[in-house]
Every structure is written in structure tokens, then in C-alpha cells.
A and B are shown apart, each in its own frame.
Chain A
């Protein structure tokens, strides 16, 4: 049996230097809902665990005004759900984060962990991609910012450099008439992994789509930003033809695999079905804003 070092630094600098010093033998612990399961399954055997929940920036929720927010990477789903302002500005992101795991898991699971676990089926990721959230990353060489979709590199792999830690997500200012939504297909009603997950972020003005982003999960090695779908929606009044074109773009973007959770044919079909449903929800919400 090997011993595991456990560190819980109070500052980001300490965390980054400990992480870098461990040169690959350390794992970051936020909620641990993936890490501990993977350790138990023998998939990961870190020599050092760095708990980042004691670092204030990692657990902060900052209201930046105008619907803009900065969310610490280790904020749990349950804590975020209690923030009324965030729920109003980003209901789609919140509903996606709140789909990670069970009620109990929600007390621990975080969007940062969900992103860094880099499963193409992570629920929060398509919604954050659609939201246009920006990730703040701190590493041995300083700080950098990238869009969410730039972080996953493939199943279980990220583009983070050695020693880099995801610090926070910044959600942009919300214009009037903007809202978002997320749906996933699972065979059961809960406690399941997305067969397809899809987030849509819309800005409507006088019934016309002014801006749109579509994030699509579980149909390719990484979560996709489907620009073709957004293009089909922008400028439209969400007429059937426009929405069908967006659905077709989602289907075309799919590069799924046949696996125990779904077939290629099924996943591709569902991507289009979900696009239509999510657009309808996001548009209804945007109409109320």
C-alpha cells in the first residue's frame, strides 16, 4: 500500500507551485466526485492530492453586474443553485451544473471538476460553451484566459499545461432578451450520464435571433461549439426551416461512437431533436427577459 500526500493550500500560488513540483504525480481535488471514484477503481493513483477548496478565489461567486458573473472553479452545484442572481441570468448553465450526479453529489461536484475531468458527456460543459464562458487558468508561467471549448482535448485529456489549475469561469454581460437552456438525453430520469447533452444561448430582439451559441456534448471526443447551428439561427425568427437547419447542423457535427451508452445513429438523431427542444426553451426564457 502506498501513502498519499494530502495538501490543502490557502493560496493559489502555493497550490500552483505544489502542483508543478509534483510533476504529474499530483491530482487536484475539488469536489472529488470523479477523482475519488477513479482512485477507487484503480484508474488514477496520485502520489499527492491538492485540495483547492480552501483557496478563496476557487469558491467565490462574484456578481460583476449586468448578468456577468465570475464563478470559482470549485463552487459546488448546490451552492450555485442558491444564488438567485445567477439563476436568473444563466438558467441553462445552472440547470446543466445541477445535473451533475445525484442530490448528494451536488453538494460536492463543481463545474471546474466537470470541465477538467474532460468527459465529452460532462453536463455543465455544453452549457458553458454555449454561454461563451471564459476560463481563467493559473500555472507556473502565470495566468491565462481561454474559452471553455479550448480546455478539453479528448476523453480524459485537457489542454492544460503541467502545473496549471482552472481558477474560475467568467460569464459575459447579459443583453436584454438573452437567455439559455440545457437538456440532456438519458434513458432514466436521473442518476445517469448524458447520451447527448445540448446547450443553447440566445439573444432575441423583437422576435429575431441576434446572437446564438450552441454547445453539443457526448457526440464527439470533446464537447463541440456548433457554429453552423448558431449561424442557422441568427437572423431568423426561429421559423421551422431555420430550426431544422440548426438541427441538421448539429447532426452533421456529430462524430459519435457506438458504446454502451448509445449508438451512432441514435446519438446523431437525438442531437437534432434536442436542438429543437432546447431552442424552444431558451427562446421562451429570452422572451421573458
Chain B
């Protein structure tokens, strides 16, 4: 299967969703309408922290044009003392996030929702809802939330026996760090902070929902998993999954944040109450204020090394923001920061810190970029102090096959060194860099590496042969990173037919078998594996049909170039039977041809990435620009290289924003002060250079095409790589992100 001379696997085929997207025909979640449809609007808390004493909706209900009003009372109750998990999400928190129950926990927290004949009437009705709040002191930043006298968000949270905003702890250990640090010739310990960053998808959350009189529900929305939408909506509304059809719309970006619901259950209950289809579309302001983001962090990393660069001990303490409800991605920094290095003595601890900000959501390799920023910065400092090349030092310490990872797994193939070699051999790493090109301008180069778990999990793929001998493939995964194009390549290859004869579509929850979220860099890995199994079944059926026609054994038939052929001279001499011919004879030879395979896939080995970046600093203005960026990653096998490069480039660009310009700003009342794309500064095209993706292909032996997940690892190294490059340019290390112009000039003006 890993024949690099494949015709379609590895080809840059035209993307199946391309024409619709560039001509504006693609149907995103806000594009659906229904006869009789009305509009929903969410009333949001004006306070960062307040007890909700009561909600009086009577005036809103009396407003002409209002068809329904809902509050948390209308939903399934999830008592605090009983956890109900769906994947990694706790429904106690999900329920309280979609509509506040006991307390409003952040400014913008949904408190009630209205459905009315127009958006204007719905907005007017929201103003008529009377909420009796008892406003409480609020706390935003980690540093403040963990102080002994901090306002406590939840009286049921205890840490070390006391009321606290630390809602969870995660500890991973190996060896004995005391002993390890004692053996070290050099120990570097630094404290880092990063700011929360939004995933920044262009498409705001939206849905259209119909709750019919017979109790059946249809949901049109974009998400990273229609089955997740169905399951969460079912849990939160009490409607059985069999009665909920979740239809995935095209998705305008998710990056992890659309792995949970905000609107769908609310719209379902509004539709149920009103008897009308209900549509809700968030504004950008609502998206920025009340969805996502990735957590901010406060981290201390301490690493000890021998003079030759051998790492002997590492300790990481990672505080992550959870938002108003528990659940920050601790396994990211705690598990990934040191994972790719063979360090005998490790203590990695994470704390989940609640504060009065929106509940965090997954964002590409959740938590791993934070930890890598800290760890890879400290490693750079150690390499500098020891006079070692930073990549040589990393190579020396790479984990090896058979090593036990700190998070429990035993490594199979480890291709970390290959990514470092790809950079060491790249012209970029050796290119001369003029560090003082002009007065007032400094340049520097930095490197950093990254690790991400990757995932397998459940996927379903149906492969059907049409009556005219072409192929329709249905998968259960929203396509956020090119999964349709990749699967089309795989199926065309395995069926031996022209790529144009394969059409890949995404099924809804009632038309395709269960398929887990698009997340964890899992979908191309898992669905290619399952599509392969489906194709093998279909090819088996086709060979059986040909055998029947030829009256020979099925084992005596082979499938090549889209045709059944006798396997050898002994099988007899028959003219080949094409897919079209076999499809035409399908019904007389036993019925329709097709197969659905559903698997819980395994064997998704981790992702490794190493990046190299050149930056230029305008010293007087404090502006840092990225001049050149090269990102190497082991992708196993690039089924569709353009998409693989796009994933790597996209991850890097998001990392650049995280490092240099993106951050949430809050005012004194605890309100987000920059809830727009104008003042939430994501990089624009002209802010970034062409990112060169160095696609390393070492086939994953556990996958039929050799695939490794791609989408998340590329956002792990950029924060540290850029910080290390800035240090090379200025001779000063930055321990706090973003390295925005005011912070850079303030640092340069320090003595």
C-alpha cells in the first residue's frame, strides 16, 4: 500500500468542495431556512459573576411576535454531585454553559433565550426578561484566581481541603526528580505566561432546528461532529438519539472549538415550545465573548542537564484557565511537554483553574503549545549555556522505540529525530542571517520542536457502487482539513479507477454509522483505514461477481486497474470485466454492490514536528515580523499533499498570532474589551511569509496507507520557535506572550 508510485494517493487532486466554496454555493450553517421558521436570540449576562436569584420571562412572553422563551429550567438537570461524561465533556458543565443555572459565571454567559418572528423582536424580548442578579466580585486572571482571598466561583470546589478555584489536578511522574536535579550539571528554571487565544474560525456558530409535532428533531448546523451534536443535544434535552437527525453543514473553520455545542439544544427547546423551526446565528461579538477560547496559562518549567546536553530531570507546573466551569486541557502540557524526550526523572503537574471568563474549548493540540513554549524555551537556554547546537541537543535526547512515555504508552516508531534532521539539512538552517541589516533592525533565528498524541477512534465508511459503475463514498466526519479529498484519493487508488469517478459525501447521523468527532488529528487516519476496509469488501464482492460470471473460484480472480481479471493462466482465459460491466450485471448476479465498515481504529502514532524561523525586530517600535518559516513534520504518508501542507501552514500561522499579537483583553468590570476581529489581532495574510512545509513521510506501519495525523502537531512548536528567534535577535528572552510591540519596547527600555 505504501508504493510511492501510486496514481492517486499522494496526488494533488482537485478538492471536492472547492467549486462550491469559491462560487459561494457551499451551504454553511447559517444558510439554511425552513417554511415557518422563526429566529432565536440568546440573552447574556451583563455581569462577570453573579448569583441568578430569579428570572421573570412573563413580559418577554407577552410581547407580540414572541413564540417561546427558555431558561435552564427547561433542560435536563445535571446535579453537581453526579458526573455524566460524553467523551471528555462533562454534561454538568455543558448544561451550565449553554444556559446559566445557579450563577452567571462570565460576562456574556447565556441566561435565557427567546424565539420570535424576527431577530429584532427576539432582541426586544430579551430586554424584557427580568433577571434578578446578586452581583459578586469577579476574578479573571490565574494569578488572581489562585490567591487565598480570591472570589470563589463554586462553593463545591475544594483544593487541598479548602474552597478554591483549582477545580482539578493532573500529575504524571517518572523516576525521582530530586535525584535527577542533583545529578545535573546545569539546571534552568523559568516561569512563563500565555494569554487565552480564540480559535478564530470565520464562520460564527449557527443552527436551524426543527422539532416536529411527532417529536422528531432535525438539526442543521456546522460542527466537528454531527454525532457529538446529536449526543449532547439528546443528553441536554432528554430527547432520544434515534429521534434526532443532525445534518452537518459545510464548516467554516473549527480548530477544535466546534467539538461542543452552544446553540443546538437551546434551539431544540425553543422549537419544541413554539412548534416552529428556529434559527439562531451568533454575532462575532458573541463568538468572541462566549465561545472558545484556548486557555491562558501560568507555567514553571525546570530542566536539568549534563554538560554534554543529556537531560536528566524535568519538572513542569502548569496552571491552565478553564473559564467559568471546570475542564481545561491539562493533558496537553502535562503529558506532551516532555514526552518526546527520554528524560529519566520527570514530575509534570497541571492545575485546572476556574475564573470568570468563557469556558475554554479545544484548540488544535489543546494545551500542548503552552507546554512546548515553556519547555522548548528552557531547552534553548540550556543549549545556549552549554554551547550546544539546539537541534543536536534535542536529537541526543529523543525518546526511542520501546521507551515508556510519561503518559503511559510505550512508543512504537519514534520519528522525532527525522523531523530535526529535516531541519538540520534544510538550506534555511544553514543560510546566513544578517543579524544587523539596518540601523534599528535586528534579526534572529530560532528552532523548537513539538509533540502531539494523535488519535484513532470510531469511524464508519460506506462505499457504494452506483448502477452506472461509479463510486459514492459516505463518511461520518465533517471535513475540516481535507478528509473528503484524501478519502477520494484512497478510494480511487484502491478501486483502480479514475479519481473523477469517486464522489465522497458526508452523511448525517441517521444515514451513516457512528463516527466520532473530527478532532485529535484522527479523521484522515481513521477514515482512510475504514475506507480501505470498505474498499476491500467491495473489491471482494466484485471478484465474486466476476467469478460467478466466469464460473471459476473467486480466489482465481484479481482486481487491477478497475477491472476483474483471471488471476493467472490456470484460472482460464476471459476478457476483463470492468467496474461498469459488473455494476450493470449487479442485480442479476446477487444484488447491489457496496459495503459499510465501522471500526474503532487504533495505531495512531504520535505526531512530531520541528520548526525553524527567522524574525526581524523593528527595535524602536517593538514590532516583530516573521521573515522565513520552515516547518518539518512526519506525516506518515501525505494522501493529499496540498492539504497536508495547508494544515502545517495553518497551524504555524495560528502559532504566529499566538506568539506575537493575539490576546483577550478584559476591562475592570470583567468584560472582554476586544470582542471583534479588528481588535482581536489575528495575523492577516500580509503579516506572514510563505510557510515552507517540509513533509517528512515515514509510513506508519500500523496504517494501511501509512498515515499519521497531521492537523495539530504544527501549532505546537511556533510559540517557542519564535521566542527563541527573538532571543537570538535581541539577546533577551521573553517569558510572556504575546510579544506585542508595547511589551517588546518596554523590555528593550529596561536596563
Contact = CB atoms under 8 A, between A and B. Distances in A.
A188 B679 contact: no
A191 interface: yes
B554 to A, nearest CB: 62
Contacts of A195: 741
Interface string B278-293: 0000000000000000
A1 B623 contact: no
Best-buried of B120, B620, B683, B686 by chain A (most CB within 10 Å): B620
Given A187-B740, A191-B684, A269 B678 contact: no
Interface in B68-120: 118, 120
A195 B749 CA distance: 19
Contacts of B687: 188-189
B681 interface: yes
Interface in A260-274: 260-263, 265-266, 269-270, 273
Contacts of B118: 1
A266 B745 contact: yes
A263 B622 CA distance: 13
Contacts of B625: 189
Contact of B621 (A189, A192, A261, A273): A273
Contacts of A190: 684, 686
Nearest to A193: B678
B638 to A, nearest CB: 31
A263 B684 contact: no
B673 A262 contact: no
Contact of B742 (A189, A265, A273): A265
Contacts of B674: 260
A185 interface: yes
A269 B745 contact: yes
B213 interface: no
B552 interface: no
Contact of A192 (B681, B740, B745, B749): B681
Interface string B672-705: 0110001101011011000000000000000000
A187 B741 contact: yes
A261 B681 CA distance: 10
Interface in B701-751: 740-742, 745-746, 749
Interface in A230-268: 259-263, 265-266
Interface residues of B, number: 26
B670 to A, nearest CB: 15
Which DSSP category, helix, strand, loop or mixed, fits chain A's interface?
loop
B661 interface: yes
A260 B745 contact: no
A45 to B, nearest CB: 12
Contacts of B620: 269, 273
Nearest to B663: A260
B665 interface: yes
B683 A188 contact: yes
Contacts of A191: 678, 684
Nearest to B677: A191
A273 B120 CA distance: 48
Contact of A263 (B121, B673, B742): B742
Contacts of B673: 259-260
Interface in A185-243: 185, 187-193, 195
B684 A260 contact: no
Contacts of B746: 265-266
Contact of A187 (B120, B623, B665): B623
Nearest to A267: B742
Nearest to B665: A260
Interface string B642-682: 00000000000000000011000100000001100011010
Contacts of A269: 620, 745, 749
Nearest to B749: A269
Nearest to B667: A260
A191 B120 CA distance: 30
Nearest to B680: A260
A189 B745 contact: no
A195 B673 CA distance: 16
Nearest to A259: B673
Nearest to A263: B742
A260 B679 contact: yes
A1 B120 contact: yes
B120 A188 contact: no
A188 B661 contact: yes
Contacts of A1: 118, 120-121
Contacts of B686: 188-190
B537 to A, nearest CB: 51
Interface in B455-496: none
Nearest to A264: B742
Contacts of A188: 661, 681, 683-684, 686-687
Given A1-B118, A260-B673, A187 B684 contact: no
Interface in A118-157: none
Given A188-B661, A192-B678, A270-B621, A262 B742 contact: yes
A40 to B, nearest CB: 9
A189 B688 CA distance: 9
Contacts of A187: 623, 660-661, 681, 740-741
A190 B683 CA distance: 9
A171 to B, nearest CB: 29
B328 to A, nearest CB: 25
Contacts of A261: 679
Given A266-B741, A273-B621, A189 B684 contact: yes
Contacts of B742: 262-263, 265-266
Nearest to B124: A1
A190 B682 CA distance: 11
A193 B676 CA distance: 13
A225 B745 CA distance: 26
A215 to B, nearest CB: 19
Contacts of A262: 742
A260 B673 CA distance: 7
Contacts of B684: 188-191
A114 B99 CA distance: 41
A192 B741 CA distance: 14
B682 to A, nearest CB: 9
A195 B740 CA distance: 12
A185 B745 CA distance: 13
Nearest to B738: A187
A286 B683 CA distance: 35
A266 B120 CA distance: 42
A191 B746 CA distance: 25
Best-buried of B121, B621, B665, B740 by chain A (most CB within 10 Å): B621
A192 B684 CA distance: 10
Contacts of A263: 742
Contacts of B678: 191-193
A105 to B, nearest CB: 12
Given A190-B686, A260-B673, A266-B746, A185 B741 contact: yes
Contacts of A189: 625, 684, 686-687
A195 B681 CA distance: 13
Best-buried of B623, B674, B684, B741 by chain A (most CB within 10 Å): B741
B722 to A, nearest CB: 15
A185 B661 contact: no
A263 B687 CA distance: 22
Give the 4 A-B CB pairs with smallest separation, nearest first.
Answer: A266-B742, A189-B686, A1-B120, A273-B620
Given A192-B681, A260-B665, 20 more contacts: A1-B121, A185-B621, A187-B623, A187-B661, A188-B661, A188-B681, A188-B683, A188-B686, A188-B687, A189-B625, A189-B684, A193-B678, A195-B741, A259-B673, A260-B674, A261-B679, A262-B742, A265-B746, A266-B745, A273-B621
Interface of A: 1, 185, 187-193, 195, 259-263, 265-266, 269-270, 273
23 contacts: A1-B120, A1-B121, A185-B623, A187-B681, A187-B740, A187-B741, A188-B681, A188-B683, A188-B684, A188-B686, A191-B684, A192-B681, A193-B679, A259-B673, A260-B674, A262-B742, A265-B742, A266-B622, A266-B741, A266-B742, A266-B745, A269-B620, A273-B621
